[in-house]
Structure 1
Amino acid sequence: MAFQQGLSGLSSSSQALDVISHNVANANTTGFKASQTVFADVYSATLGADPYKQVGSGSRVAAIRQNFSQGSITETGNSLDMAINGDGFFMVKRPVLGDNQMYYTRAGEFQLDKDGYVTTATGYQLLGYPGTAGAGDAVPIKVPYDTGTPRETSTVSMTFNLDANQPVITTVPPDPAKPETYNFSTTVVTYDSLGIAHNLNLYFVRTSNTAPSQWDVYWSLSGDTTSDPAAGGTLQGPLTMQFDASGAMTTPAPGTVPTFSLPGISLASGATIGGPVGASDGTIDINFTATQFALASSVNTISQDGVPAGELAGVSVTKEGQIQARYTNGNVVTVGTVAIASFRNPNGLVSMGDNLWISSLESGPGVAGTPGAGTRGFISGGSVEASNVDLTAELVNMIVQQRAYQANAQSIKTQDQILQTVINLR
């Protein structure tokens, strides 16, 4: 019996040393969770045995349990790296058609592959929800490499002052080539539906200096065959602006948005305007906030809502798991939201290597959701979760198991010596 007891102890200590060695080997593995050996004693049941005289048969390893406590979060500088600060697992799949096996991981070292999918270092695709919806089936997240979509200018807002000392000009309409035919001019860069830049040129002409003081505004859009003199058009307008004796604008009424009835951007040939034919027609709302004081005419603020086409400049991740693509034209697009799976019994997960687990009957199915929902943790972008291995504790455990192994070997040696003594009896 003592041989069997000693052998079981040697086997248990050996497996414990294997677990400790595995932990130590993965002390620097991102998202790794340390394992612990759970021992159980062994008794042989015999009918009619005296329960007060039972002698155990040794020990066995009842389970190898993983420790899913939080590892420290370390910044990496890679914007696509992610760490889950709390419970849950990233959901990943192999990019193989027909492979529906779901894998789970805490290792958030992600990157973009050649097709724009967010993948692990070993090529597994990260799953999430399109946009910010957070609903439906989790699918591979893809960051489009194509250019950021341009947006046609529909509104221009300006705040400016018109010099109250300016003289009245009777020559109308003004001639852009002759500055003496207008009192003030300014230019706003706008964009058509193709993302091509066009200068919206505004010409201000004072037509009356008696109350209410009156100014007329004319405009042209570069490349527009209707309004751009360089493209064969003529200045459009006027839009009449009126100011009271205190210099406040009364017409158009404050808070209204007058519309320049532009006929759209009817482009001439590409050689003439520096761009292709084909942009759609549109209108531009002009929101003026103006004063007429005895100061030099000047524009204080100016803005417009159009953007040119843009290229992918970078990707970032919010704490809610939203993956945002930033383009050179200033557009920020949420391309997807990371899915986080939670389990009632994480210890039931089956390790598959490569920092991956799969679910089992013991763990139950993974329940997907967005970061921060329920017990799921939030995302730390540009960071990864380090291994939760405590090297100091593992080295102490290694010494303990080494001593246990030596003690079990000594029990076998002692039993051998006893048997040898019995055999030598004559």
Structure 2
Amino acid sequence: MIRSMFSAISGLRNHQTMMDVVGNNISNVNTTGFKSSTTVFQDVLSQVLRGGGAANQELGGTNPAQVGLGSRVAAITTNFGQGALQRTGRATDLAVQGDGFFVVNQAGQELYTRAGSFSIDALGRLVTQEGAFVMGWQSDAAGNVNSNGAIGQIQVPVGDLVAPVASTEIALGGNLPSNAAVGASIVNSVEVFDTQGNPISIRHTFTKTAADTWTVASEYTLADGTTGAAGADSTIVFDGAGEIDAGASTINPLNTIPAPAGTIDLFLGDPGGANRLTQYGELSTVAVLSQDGSAAGSLQSFSVSQEGLVVGSYSNGRTRAIGQIALASFANPEGLEKVGGSNYRSTMNSGLAQLGTAGAGGRGLLSSGTLEMSNVDLAQEFTNLIVAQRGFQANSRVVTTSDELLQEVVNLKR
């Protein structure tokens, strides 16, 4: 009777622990990145009343007779299944689709989390809502990221400036009409930039001088209104198929624009390639396709790619990599220790953190503008709540019944 009472007491304790776990799961049903837990029970040592006997020629074998001594909590396991993604629209809200954890540094301690509700602090650093630094790799001045190096803080340089890029090439393409009369002209223009980022307007005038032959005269206009020839006239000769005859053509660079502008080459496309300059029929579609220069620009916004690359958009239309967010994976994620704030700490049984980029090494991809919600299944948790309640009631009834039996024993002597 005493054994049954103590067994029931262990059951009460265990079901109370189960209630605590279920209650914690339900309380975190809307916690970003939360992973639910499950309680696992097992029995404890049993008292052997009679040992097992071996079979012989005269008697058969006998099984051991044992009385259990109650139960205990074997484990509280964490379910790392994917939670639903909720769209927020904030550029700094990130969710991991698949395996992996964000790496954060909180007061010098490296922690791991699935909660991607980040923000930018006053110094431009990417931080969690608790102020922990989001770790990754910062790019160099050219926008290159070395993901094989040591991780550090990700910083978005608010107000960052990119230097101007001097134009060195203008790409022309489209079609000049083969039926145009000699002396006909077609004009287009493009804005290029000198080494200081000052804009220069270049005007191209295509004039047909003979059958299948055109000249290109280029004129510059500076910001102060100064104009002049941008270079010697070029001659473009087409063959009978409407393609540029490279041997007969003379394409001169634009090399007479005043300093600080440099020499600018004219590119008319590769033979047989896309967007090359041709001479077919009546079509008149010649145009400037691109130029490789830009003015100075300041950082306007940034975005995060699926691979965790933080890309800044500048006022001059250019983009540049700012950094890349690191993800960590573990051989045994269930071995991680919860430390609060939706953060985890590695343990001896979780294995070492394997750092890398999203989408590589079994790590999932990032989804920008979304958050991973809790993976708590309310229907399952309420079912577990009923199971825990009934288990607690049953064990309490065992205690009551054992007490009644003891009372009967005491009442034997009256």
Measured against the shorter chain, the TM-score band is: 0.7 to 0.9
Deviates more, 1:197-206 or 1:316-325: 197-206
Q: Which amino acid aligns with 2:345?
A: I
Given that 2:309 and 2:324 are in contact with CA atoms closer than 8 Å, whether structure 1 keeps it comes out as: yes
Equivalent residue number for residue 313 of structure 1: 300
Q: Give the CA deviation at 1:36.
A: 0.7
Given that 1:204 and 1:218 are in contact with CA atoms closer than 8 Å, whether structure 2 keeps it comes out as: no
Q: 1:260 aligns with which of 254, 259, 264?
A: 254
Q: 1:144 aligns with which of 152, 157, 160?
A: 157
Q: Give the CA deviation at 1:295.
A: 7.2
Q: Give the CA deviation at 1:14.
A: 0.5
Q: Give the CA deviation at 1:355.
A: 0.5
Given that 2:204 and 2:216 are in contact with CA atoms closer than 8 Å, whether structure 1 keeps it comes out as: no
The secondary structure found in structure 1 opposite 2:358 is coil
User: Whole-Å Cα distance in 1 between the matches of residues 375 and 200 of structure 2?
Assistant: 57
Equivalent residue number for residue 110 of structure 1: 118
Q: Which amino acid aligns with 1:343?
A: F
The secondary structure found in structure 2 opposite 1:311 is strand
The secondary structure found in structure 1 opposite 2:44 is strand
Q: Give the CA deviation at 1:81.
A: 2.2
Equivalent residue number for residue 169 of structure 2: 155
Matches within 5 A, 1:202-241: 202=204, 215=215, 217-223=217-223, 230-231=225-226, 234-241=228-235
Q: Which amino acid aligns with 1:63?
A: A
After TM superposition, the score normalised by the length of structure 1 is 0.79
Equivalent residue number for residue 82 of structure 1: 94
Equivalent residue number for residue 271 of structure 1: none
1:328–1:53 Cα change, 3 Å: same
Given that 1:309 and 1:329 are in contact with CA atoms closer than 8 Å, whether structure 2 keeps it comes out as: yes
Offset from partner CA, 1:213-266 (integer Å, 9 cap, x none): 56462422415xxxx8x44x7535432425469796868758986311135x53
Q: Give the CA deviation at 1:166.
A: 5.7
User: Whole-Å Cα distance in 2 between the matches of residues 256 and 342 of structure 1?
Assistant: 59
Q: 2:42 aligns with which of 23, 40, 43?
A: 40
Equivalent residue number for residue 269 of structure 1: none
User: Whole-Å Cα distance in 2 between the matches of residues 43 and 154 of structure 1?
Assistant: 83
The secondary structure found in structure 1 opposite 2:11 is helix
Q: Give the CA deviation at 1:33.
A: 0.6
User: Whole-Å Cα distance in 1 between the matches of residues 398 and 90 of structure 2?
Assistant: 55
Q: 2:263 aligns with which of 280, 283, 286?
A: 283
User: Whole-Å Cα distance in 2 between the matches of residues 348 and 158 of structure 1?
Assistant: 61
Whether 1:413 aligns to 2:400 is: yes
1:50–1:149 Cα change, 3 Å: farther
The secondary structure found in structure 2 opposite 1:102 is strand
Q: What is the number of equivalent residue pairs in this alignment?
A: 384
Q: Give the CA deviation at 1:143.
A: 2.2
The CA RMSD measured in Å over matched residues stands at 3.2
Equivalent residue number for residue 177 of structure 1: none
The secondary structure found in structure 2 opposite 1:142 is coil
User: Whole-Å Cα distance in 1 between the matches of residues 67 and 395 of structure 2?
Assistant: 16
Offset from partner CA, 1:33-92 (integer Å, 9 cap, x none): 10011112122668xx63434322211112211111122223222233222222221111
Whether 1:63 aligns to 2:75 is: yes
The secondary structure found in structure 2 opposite 1:10 is helix
Deviates more, 1:149-158 or 1:396-405: 149-158
Given that 2:137 and 2:325 are in contact with CA atoms closer than 8 Å, whether structure 1 keeps it comes out as: yes
Given that 1:241 and 1:249 are in contact with CA atoms closer than 8 Å, whether structure 2 keeps it comes out as: no
Given that 1:42 and 1:57 are in contact with CA atoms closer than 8 Å, whether structure 2 keeps it comes out as: yes
Q: Which amino acid aligns with 1:383?
A: T
1:255–1:376 Cα change, 3 Å: farther
Given that 1:156 and 1:286 are in contact with CA atoms closer than 8 Å, whether structure 2 keeps it comes out as: yes
User: Whole-Å Cα distance in 1 between the matches of residues 193 and 99 of structure 2?
Assistant: 47
Whether 1:300 aligns to 2:301 is: no
Whether 1:374 aligns to 2:376 is: no
Q: Which amino acid aligns with 1:107?
A: A
After TM superposition, the score normalised by the length of structure 2 is 0.81
1:88–1:255 Cα change, 3 Å: farther
Given that 1:27 and 1:389 are in contact with CA atoms closer than 8 Å, whether structure 2 keeps it comes out as: yes
Equivalent residue number for residue 199 of structure 1: 201
Q: Which amino acid aligns with 1:114?
A: A
1:118–1:254 Cα change, 3 Å: farther
Given that 2:336 and 2:345 are in contact with CA atoms closer than 8 Å, whether structure 1 keeps it comes out as: yes
Q: Which amino acid aligns with 1:374?
A: G
Equivalent residue number for residue 137 of structure 2: 129
Q: Give the CA deviation at 1:116.
A: 2.2
Q: Which amino acid aligns with 1:118?
A: L
Q: Which amino acid aligns with 1:282?
A: G
Q: Which amino acid aligns with 2:252?
A: P
User: Whole-Å Cα distance in 1 between the matches of residues 311 and 202 of structure 2?
Assistant: 32
Gapped runs of 5+ residues in structure 2? 52-63, 139-143, 269-275
Given that 1:118 and 1:142 are in contact with CA atoms closer than 8 Å, whether structure 2 keeps it comes out as: yes
Given that 1:241 and 1:251 are in contact with CA atoms closer than 8 Å, whether structure 2 keeps it comes out as: no
1:256–1:321 Cα change, 3 Å: farther
1:398–1:188 Cα change, 3 Å: same
1:328–1:3 Cα change, 3 Å: same
1:293–1:399 Cα change, 3 Å: closer
User: Whole-Å Cα distance in 2 between the matches of residues 196 and 317 of structure 1?
Assistant: 31
Q: 1:365 aligns with which of 338, 347, 352?
A: 352
The secondary structure found in structure 1 opposite 2:83 is coil
